[in-house]
């Protein structure tokens, strides 16, 4: 049996570009892709904190060290520069793989610099 699990998350990244006249996808700083373990052309989910939009696209590699998060193509209608977004990638894991499973959680601060990383989301208290 396999389970679909959160593989990686870029939490509160800032959109730097929204380019309507583009083939599609989301360009992400290559350093952030590598840190999160997200592969170029991998399907990603984007959750816009500012307006509640949720959409699916795929990642493409942006210039390393640029901090770029460019929402392209039709998705450019769903996010604008300065919007805070959560970018997630999911993957299938077998029960054996889940024994040591830990997602890559990358927390961002303004300017798309990494604030900190983690492998577990804290327990939410009541």
Rounded distance, CA 27 to CA 21, Å?
A: 14
Token pair 């604030």 is found at 115
> Catalytic residue numbers?
25, 58
96 annotated ligand-binding residue: no
Q: Residue 34 gets which letter from DSSP?
A: H
Q: Which two tokens stand for residue 45?
A: 């989910």
Q: Which two tokens stand for residue 116?
A: 């900190």
End-to-end CA distance of the chain: 33
Q: Which two tokens stand for residue 36?
A: 């999160």
Q: How many residues does the chain have?
A: 126
24 annotated ligand-binding residue: no
36 annotated ligand-binding residue: no
75 annotated ligand-binding residue: yes
* Cβ–Cβ < 8 Å for 91, 7: yes
Which residue ranges are tagged as binding site for substrate? Answer: 57, 73-75
Which residue ranges are tagged as binding site? Answer: 57, 73-75
């Amino acid at each position: 049996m396999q389970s679909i699990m959160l593989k990686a998350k870029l939490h509160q990244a800032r959109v730097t570009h929204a380019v309507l006249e583009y083939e599609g996808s989301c360009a992400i700083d290559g350093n952030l892709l590598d840190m999160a373990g997200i592969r170029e052309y991998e399907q990603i989910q984007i959750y816009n904190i500012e307006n509640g939009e949720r959409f699916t696209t795929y990642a493409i590699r942006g210039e390393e060290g640029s901090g770029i998060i460019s929402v392209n193509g039709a998705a450019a209608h769903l996010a604008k520069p300065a919007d805070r977004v959560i970018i997630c990638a999911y993957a299938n894991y077998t029960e054996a793989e889940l024994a040591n499973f830990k997602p890559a959680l990358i927390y961002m601060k303004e300017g798309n610099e990494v604030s900190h990383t983690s492998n577990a989301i804290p327990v939410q208290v009541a």
